[in-house]
């Protein structure tokens, strides 16, 4: 059996078109399936649309969270409850084409435990999003122990063994595609063209994306924390050379009172550097604080369907 996990937040217009394409693709696969929708605190008619669809379509389970916990938490809730031998997370907005599912399942049957759907181009994104995404992957992969495959989202097939491994990761800050990559396993890639969103607006824009990138880096790398000893050592070495030069000059040319500009420059530069270092420690400390509280990742309000 295959479990499809779809986190939804204010997607009332997208669900019907999604079902219209998802069901034929699933029927083409010749497997049993369950569809798990996780309603992540929608404020529109999403939940009633889901309940209505459930009445005429078998194999649908709906999990309603008690408020909006974010896509990563909603996905976790769905994956925790999936009973299939393979799990496929999919976005509700048809940016993840359901027509790929039969190809994913075929690869899975060949023996791959993870089948990634990789987007061939970012043509549907703005220039800004394309270039920031490229920089993010470049930086992330340089400083993290496990590289993230580029241009791959949460849309993928995971065998049960992978799902069990992902469920064992208890962290509260959940950068899902990082967690998926971290567990490893035998992986195949299929490529696709990512279409624009079918209805509504993206929930990941601007500041939200920046925080998402911070989550990715702080969850999988401690380089930003550790780099400060090296920056400090470098700055100290430079100051030592500068001090030597100053002393020599004073010995040769005598005492020279002016020097306001150089002192201000050095003081401001070091002050900025120290605040930056502190800020980065704060990023990690804040996350440690969240982890230490051991709160649940999400709260389920109700589960509809068995």
Q: Does 113 bind Mg ion (CB under 5 A)?
A: no
Number of other CB atoms surrounding residue 227 within 10 Å: 13
Kind of pairing, strands 152-159 and 86-89? Answer: antiparallel
Output 39 or 91, the one with its CB closest to Mg ion.
Answer: 91
Give the one residue of 4, 8, 79, 158 binding ligand UDP; rule: CB under 6 A. Answer: 8
Gap between the Cα atoms of 38 and 244, Å rounded: 65
Q: Does 91 bind ligand UDP (CB under 6 A)?
A: yes
Gap between the Cα atoms of 104 and 124, Å rounded: 23
Q: Does 95 bind Mg ion (CB under 5 A)?
A: yes
Count of residues in contact with Mg ion, rule CB under 5 A: 4
Q: What is the DSSP letter of 123?
A: T
Gap between the Cα atoms of 45 and 48, Å rounded: 5
Binding mask 61-90 for ligand UDP (x = CB under 6 A): -------x-xx--x----------------
CB of 245 to Mg ion, least distance (A): 57
Asked if 25 and 19 count as a contact pair (C-beta separation under 8 A), the reply is no
Count of residues in contact with ligand UDP, rule CB under 6 A: 17
Output 41 or 153, the one with its CB closest to Mg ion.
Answer: 153
Output 34 or 91, the one with its CB closest to Mg ion.
Answer: 91
Give the one residue of 5, 11, 37, 105 binding ligand UDP; rule: CB under 6 A. Answer: 11
**Buried b or exposed e, range 168-201, using 16+ CB within 10 angstroms:** eeeeebbbbbbbbbbbeeebbeeebebeeebeee
3-state secondary structure labels for all residues of 8-57:
ECCCHHHHHHHHHHHHHHHHCCCCCEEEEEEECCCCCCHHHHHHHHHHHC
Give the one residue of 39, 40, 93, 96 binding Mg ion; rule: CB under 5 A. Answer: 93
CB of 222 to ligand UDP, least distance (A): 27
> Which residues are CB-contacts of 100 (< 8 A; sequence separation ≥ 6)?
117, 155, 190, 192
98: its two tokens:
């359901």
Q: Does 40 bind Mg ion (CB under 5 A)?
A: no
Binding mask 171-210 for Mg ion (x = CB under 5 A): --------------------------x-------------
Give the one residue of 60, 92, 100, 114 binding ligand UDP; rule: CB under 6 A. Answer: 92
**Across-strand partners of 35?**
4, 60
Q: Does 216 bind ligand UDP (CB under 6 A)?
A: no
3-state helix, strand, coil in the chain (%, to 5): 55, 15, 30
Number of other CB atoms surrounding residue 104 within 10 Å: 24
Q: Does 40 bind ligand UDP (CB under 6 A)?
A: yes
Output 107 or 156, the one with its CB closest to Mg ion.
Answer: 156
Q: Does 95 bind ligand UDP (CB under 6 A)?
A: yes
- Out of Mg ion, ligand UDP, none, which partner does residue 63 contact, by CB within 5 to 8 A per kind? none
- Out of ligand UDP, Mg ion, none, which partner does residue 221 contact, by CB within 5 to 8 A per kind? none
The burial of 225, by beta-carbon neighbours within 10 Å (0-12 exposed, 13-18 middle, 19 or more buried), is given as middle
Q: Does 203 bind ligand UDP (CB under 6 A)?
A: yes
Asked if 210 and 252 count as a contact pair (C-beta separation under 8 A), the reply is no
Output 26 or 75, the one with its CB closest to ligand UDP.
Answer: 75
Output 40 or 224, the one with its CB closest to ligand UDP.
Answer: 40
Q: Which positions touch ligand UDP (CB under 6 A)?
A: 7-9, 11, 40, 68, 70-71, 74, 91-93, 95, 197, 202-204
């Amino acid at each position: 059996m295959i479990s499809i996990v779809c986190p939804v937040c204010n997607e009332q217009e997208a669900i019907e078109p999604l079902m219209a394409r998802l069901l034929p693709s699933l029927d083409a696969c010749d497997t049993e399936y369950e569809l798990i929708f996780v309603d992540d605190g929608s404020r529109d008619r999403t939940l009633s649309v889901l309940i209505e669809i459930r009445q005429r379509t078998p194999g649908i389970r709906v999990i309603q969270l008690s408020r909006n916990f974010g896509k990563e938490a909603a996905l976790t809730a769905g994956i925790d409850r999936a009973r299939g031998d393979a799990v496929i997370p999919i976005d509700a907005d048809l940016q993840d084409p359901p027509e790929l599912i039969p190809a994913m399942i075929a690869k899975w049957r060949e023996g791959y435990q993870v089948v990634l759907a990789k987007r061939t181009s970012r043509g549907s994104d703005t220039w800004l999003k394309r270039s920031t995404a490229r920089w993010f992957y470049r930086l992330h992969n340089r400083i993290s122990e496990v590289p993230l495959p580029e241009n791959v989202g949460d849309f993928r097939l995971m065998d049960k063994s992978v799902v069990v491994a992902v469920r064992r990761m208890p962290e509260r800050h959940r950068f899902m595609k990082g967690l998926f990559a971290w567990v490893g396993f035998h992986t195949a890639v299929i490529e696709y063209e990512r279409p624009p969103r079918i209805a509504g607006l993206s929930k990941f824009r601007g500041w939200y994306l920046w925080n998402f990138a911070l989550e990715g880096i702080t969850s999988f790398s401690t380089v930003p924390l550790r780099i400060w000893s090296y920056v400090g050592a470098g700055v100290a070495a430079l100051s030592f050379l500068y001090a030597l030069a100053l002393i020599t000059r004073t010995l040769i040319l005598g005492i020279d009172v002016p020097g306001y500009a150089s002192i201000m420059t050095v003081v401001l530069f070091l002050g900025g550097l120290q605040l930056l270092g502190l800020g980065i420690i704060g990023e990690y400390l804040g996350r440690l604080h969240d982890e230490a509280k051991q709160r649940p990742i999400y709260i389920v309000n109700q589960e509809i369907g068995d």
